[in-house]
């Protein structure tokens, strides 16, 4: 009896030809944690017995993605070579399900709710269906009328958006993802919504439990006008969307004009339900909530829309679960994104990027991602409708930190900013060109006519538009190093196959598989214990070990020193200053360097980036307030042109005392004992960023 694990379509391939193409030596590339992760979670099994090896696994995925190609075998081998050499990795849903009987290959879904019960509970039901098939969810709730609004049908008053968010939260818990993990969703609300202050309290551990959503992420969808009002120390007016129905679909200068008209109407008594607050006070509450609970995340409405290639076909109302996807949503369209990431570290040669290899990898990767759209299973008609019409894909990058290590560049440097710029420009160049080449072969996407692509506007061209709409307040560099004329000529002739091509997702699990740093993240620590569903792993920074060995400094004492200093080299006297700079860890790098690198990438990307920021309260300069430093950080991100930010990782005050190191042998007070926030019993250390995987019940990543 057949086990019914694989699609019968795989039998249509010339299996002998594919078998000859397998390179079993590539199994030797895996580090221990990578191979254990593959074994535990990705290889297909029957009753616990694996029926795949890693190379069979990569070929199965490749065959699944090549199923509709005319030259199946050649394309499957091309896809296999890119995956098995670790140059590019598809997202976890694609790796799980390609070539199986249920090809649910997409990572995330975005939807908008309208202001009526039918729409609200349809969205909840859709969330349940999408969550069942392991999709991360981003829901836009701004249309729902605020607390105290009049309900015409019953002549009563609305309870606002909060009770419905509680229902959505509980649905995510009830309908777990394929029986593998609880549902993962993020709710978005615009900053002018009258319920925004209650929204900021959803993740608090105190208060009325009926108005708390402990299992759902939240994000603030902030218009530029609010940031300008904060800067000017002006007033801010909160409205119910039922009284200002068009605000939700407006952005840029048009939003600003209409918002001010509504403020005038409110002052004249034409709008009864509103509240005026000090913009700076509301901003302070936003930052305090973010600092205390990690939510709501700070995301920016206007750059997400003004720079969107699809501004002719709708409005971006929110991002996704991980804040990198920026696609239009409506009652008819649930946005879907299909993800994968290029391994930057695999494309360095002789101390620089190998442009020829990047071009080859990116061309193949875009083809793989485009194929996902036609093969994919869609849980709702709205999801299928959106993906088939616009064909967005999200190609990202990972191993940015690894690449810096190989180049011996500190993340906290202008050289890193320039590398972020140059590497993303090159990937953007070939991603857009590859999509245009696909359009020549397969045709442009259905809604191409009228898009920014059709109007001759590439991502780099939209920066000026943002500055015009915003009225300044933009510090984003606009330089380029490549000749974009061939790309522009190709688009003018053929169009593009995909409405969107790039988004940088977290990549936590797929980065673990190939043994590189996640996404664009800095190193968390140079020596730490990592726990996931595959077990507990001691992780050392191999690049640090290698460079210490080169200088004759790697010995048992160095291991003890690293343990004692929580994986930091900054306090180890015999480590040379240049290595200390290169091997700074996430909380030892000023967040402004992370933002500066992200800003340079953002100018080339047609969607967004999943950007975590790190904040060590112990590093706040004497005499400065924590809130002011945080405010400066996020204003820098806004003025640098970022579209979104993700988690704010903060340094916790305490940790258990070290048990494997004799602190008395050091003869001095440990760094943590000198901390202004620590007692003499415990060490301040960061809470580790979550190690995400599709099977991890706490996972909040797309890949």
> In 10 A of CB 102, how many CB atoms?
11
Residues 28 and 131 in one domain: no
- Whole-number pLDDT of residue 673: 42
Residue ending a domain, among 267, 283, 306, is 306
Residue 655 counted as domain residue:
no
- Whole-number pLDDT of residue 701: 44
Residue 8 counted as domain residue:
yes
- Whole-number pLDDT of residue 666: 58
Residue 479: band (very low, low, confident or very high) from pLDDT cuts 50, 70, 90: very high
Number of domains present in the structure of the chain: 2
Q: Which residues pair with 186 in a beta bridge?
A: 138, 217
| Residue 381 exposed, middle or buried by CB count within 10 Å (0-12, 13-18, 19+) | exposed
Residues 114 and 22 in one domain: no
258 pLDDT higher than 80 = yes
Tokens read off for 108 = 């995330």
- Whole-number pLDDT of residue 150: 67
In whole angstroms, give the CA distance from residue 530 to residue 489: 48
691 pLDDT higher than 80 = no
Mean pLDDT confidence for 433-459: 98
- Whole-number pLDDT of residue 699: 47
Mean pLDDT confidence for 608-625: 88
Residue 135: band (very low, low, confident or very high) from pLDDT cuts 50, 70, 90: low
289 pLDDT higher than 50 = yes
Mean pLDDT confidence for 338-349: 96
- Whole-number pLDDT of residue 607: 98
131 pLDDT higher than 80 = no
Comparing 93-107, 462-476, 654-668, 684-698, which segment has the lowest mean pLDDT? Answer: 684-698
683 pLDDT higher than 50 = no
- Whole-number pLDDT of residue 160: 84
Residue 229 counted as domain residue:
yes
Residues 60 and 135 in one domain: no
Tokens read off for 585 = 């860890």
Mean pLDDT confidence for 149-159: 68
Residue 234 counted as domain residue:
yes
User: Which residues are annotated as catalytic?
Assistant: 320, 322, 324
Residues 1 and 122 in one domain: no
Whether 500 and 607 have beta carbons less than 8 Å apart is answered as: yes
Residues 152 and 241 in one domain: yes
Mean pLDDT confidence for 338-346: 96
Average pLDDT, the chain: 89
SS3 content of the chain, % helix, strand, coil (to 5): 45, 15, 45
Residues 219 and 283 in one domain: yes
Residues 228 and 290 in one domain: yes
The answer to whether the Cα torsion of 599, 601, 604, 608 is positive or negative is negative
> How many percent of the chain have pLDDT more than 90?
71
Residue 61 counted as domain residue:
yes
In whole angstroms, give the CA distance from residue 560 to residue 540: 13
- Whole-number pLDDT of residue 288: 93
- Whole-number pLDDT of residue 533: 59
Residue 176: band (very low, low, confident or very high) from pLDDT cuts 50, 70, 90: low
Comparing 23-32, 591-600, 656-665, which segment has the lowest mean pLDDT? Answer: 656-665
- Whole-number pLDDT of residue 680: 29
In whole angstroms, give the CA distance from residue 559 to residue 546: 13
Mean pLDDT confidence for 413-435: 98
Residue 119 counted as domain residue:
yes
Residue 153: band (very low, low, confident or very high) from pLDDT cuts 50, 70, 90: low
Contacts of 18 (CB under 8 A, 6+ apart): 59, 63, 73, 76, 77, 80
Reported as a single tens digit per residue, the pLDDT across 632-665 is 999 999 999 999 999 999 875 444 445 555 555 5
- Whole-number pLDDT of residue 665: 58
Reported as a single tens digit per residue, the pLDDT across 47-77 is 889 999 999 999 999 999 999 999 999 999 9
390 pLDDT higher than 90 = yes
CA-to-CA dists, residue 231 to 192, 250, 251, 376, angstroms: 16, 22, 19, 46
Reported as a single tens digit per residue, the pLDDT across 190-203 is 999 999 999 998 88
Q: Which residues pair with 386 in a beta bridge?
A: none
Comparing 57-66, 288-297, 463-472, which segment has the lowest mean pLDDT? Answer: 288-297
Residues 204 and 123 in one domain: yes
CA-to-CA dists, residue 586 to 179, 289, 591, 632, angstroms: 34, 22, 9, 19
Residue ending a domain, among 280, 306, 332, is 306
Mean pLDDT confidence for 511-539: 83
- Whole-number pLDDT of residue 537: 66
Residues 47 and 166 in one domain: no
- Whole-number pLDDT of residue 654: 47
Residue ending a domain, among 306, 328, 351, is 306
Residue 591 counted as domain residue:
no
Residues 139 and 65 in one domain: no
- Whole-number pLDDT of residue 611: 96
pLDDT higher at 702 or 510: 510
Residues 50 and 144 in one domain: no
Task: Find the DSSP H helices in 277-354.
Answer: 279-293, 301-306
Residue 604 counted as domain residue:
no
- Whole-number pLDDT of residue 350: 93
CATH of the domain at 192: 3.20.70.20
Comparing 5-14, 118-127, 439-448, 648-657, which segment has the lowest mean pLDDT? Answer: 648-657
**Which DSSP string corresponds to 661-674?**
S-GGGG-S--HHHH
690 pLDDT higher than 70 = no
667 pLDDT higher than 60 = no
Residues 291 and 213 in one domain: yes
538 pLDDT higher than 50 = yes
User: Containing domain of residue 70, as a range?
Assistant: 1-85
Residue 674: band (very low, low, confident or very high) from pLDDT cuts 50, 70, 90: very low
Reported as a single tens digit per residue, the pLDDT across 356-377 is 999 999 999 999 999 999 999 9
> How many percent of the chain have pLDDT more than 70?
88
Residue from 316, 298, 388 nearest 140 by CA = 316
- Whole-number pLDDT of residue 545: 95
pLDDT higher at 470 or 202: 470
HSE, CB side, 13 Å, CA atoms: give it for residue 289.
24
């Amino acid at each position: 009896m057949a086990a019914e694990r694989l699609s019968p379509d795989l039998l249509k391939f010339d299996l002998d030809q594919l078998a000859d193409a397998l390179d079993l030596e590539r199994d030797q590339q895996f580090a221990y944690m990578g191979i254990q992760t593959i074994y535990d979670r990705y290889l297909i099994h029957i009753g616990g017995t694996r029926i795949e090896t890693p190379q069979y696994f990569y070929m199965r995925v490749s065959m699944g993605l090549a199923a509709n190609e005319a030259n199946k075998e050649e394309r499957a081998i091309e896809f296999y070579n890119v995956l098995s050499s670790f140059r590019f990795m598809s997202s976890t849903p694609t790796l799980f399900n390609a070539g199986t009987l249920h090809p649910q290959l997409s990572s995330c879904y975005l939807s908008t709710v309208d202001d009526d019960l039918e729409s609200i509970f349809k969205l909840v039901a859709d969330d349940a269906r999408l969550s069942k098939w392991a999709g991360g969810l981003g829901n836009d709730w701004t249309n729902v009328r605020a607390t105290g609004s009049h309900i015409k049908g019953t002549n009563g008053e609305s309870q606002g958006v909060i009770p419905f968010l509680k229902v959505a939260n509980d649905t995510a818990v009830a309908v777990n993802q394929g029986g593998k993990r609880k549902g993962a969703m993020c709710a978005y609300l615009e900053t002018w919504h009258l319920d925004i202050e209650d929204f900021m309290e959803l993740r608090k551990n105190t208060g009325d439990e009926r108005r708390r959503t402990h299992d759902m992420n939240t994000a603030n969808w902030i218009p530029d006008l609010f940031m300008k009002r904060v800067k000017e120390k002006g007033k801010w007016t909160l409205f119910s969307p039922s009284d200002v129905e068009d605000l939700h679909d407006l952005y840029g200068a048009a939003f600003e004009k209409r918002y001010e008209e509504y403020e005038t109407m409110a002052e004249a008594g034409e709008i009864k339900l509103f509240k005026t607050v000090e913009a700076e006070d509301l901003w302070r509450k936003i930052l305090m909530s973010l600092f205390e609970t990690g939510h709501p995340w700070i995301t920016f409405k206007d750059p997400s829309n003004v720079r969107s290639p699809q501004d002719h076909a709708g409005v971006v109302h929110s991002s996704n679960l991980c804040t990198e996807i920026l696609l239009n949503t409506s009652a008819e369209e649930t946005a879907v994104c299909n993800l994968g990431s290029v391994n930057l570290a695999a494309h360095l040669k002789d101390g620089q990027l190998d442009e020829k290899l990047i071009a080859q990898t990116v061309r193949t990767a875009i083809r793989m991602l485009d194929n996902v759209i036609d093969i994919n299973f869609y849980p709702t008609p709205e999801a299928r409708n959106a993906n088939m019409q616009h064909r967005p894909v999200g190609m990202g990058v990972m191993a940015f930190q690894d690449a810096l290590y190989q180049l011996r560049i500190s993340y906290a440097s202008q050289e890193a900013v320039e590398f972020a710029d140059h590497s993303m420009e090159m990937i953007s160049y070939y991603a857009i060109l590859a999509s245009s080449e696909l359009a020549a072969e397969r045709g442009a996407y259905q809604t191409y006519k009228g898009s920014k692509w059709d109007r001759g506007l590439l991502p780099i061209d939209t920066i000026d538009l943002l500055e015009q709409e915003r009225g300044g307040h933009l510090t984003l560099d606009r330089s380029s190093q490549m000749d974009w004329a061939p790309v522009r000529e190709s688009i003018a002739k053929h169009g593009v196959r995909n409405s969107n091509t790039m988004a940088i997702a977290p990549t936590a699990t797929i980065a673990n598989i190939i043994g590189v740093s996640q996404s664009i993240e800095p190193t968390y620590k140079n020596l730490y214990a990592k726990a996931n569903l595959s077990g507990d792993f001691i992780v050392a920074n191999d690049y640090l070990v290698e460079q210490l060995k080169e200088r004759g400094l790697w010995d048992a004492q160095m291991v003890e020193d690293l343990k004692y200093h929580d994986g930091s080299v900054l306090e180890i006297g015999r480590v040379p200053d240049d290595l200390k700079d290169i091997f700074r860890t996430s909380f030892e790098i000023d967040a402004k360097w992370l933002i500066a690198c992200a800003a340079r990438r953002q100018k080339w990307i047609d969607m967004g980036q999943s950007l975590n920021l790190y904040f060590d309260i112990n590093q706040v300069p004497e005499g400065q307030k924590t809130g002011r430093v945080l405010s400066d950080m996020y204003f820098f991100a806004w003025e640098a042109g970022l579209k979104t930010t993700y988690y704010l990782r903060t340094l916790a005050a305490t940790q258990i005392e070290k048990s494997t190191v004799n602190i008395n042998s050091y003869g001095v007070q440990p760094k943590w004992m000198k901390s202004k926030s620590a007692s003499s019993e415990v060490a301040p250390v960061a809470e580790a960023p979550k190690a995400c995987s599709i099977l991890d019940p706490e996972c909040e990543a797309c890949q």
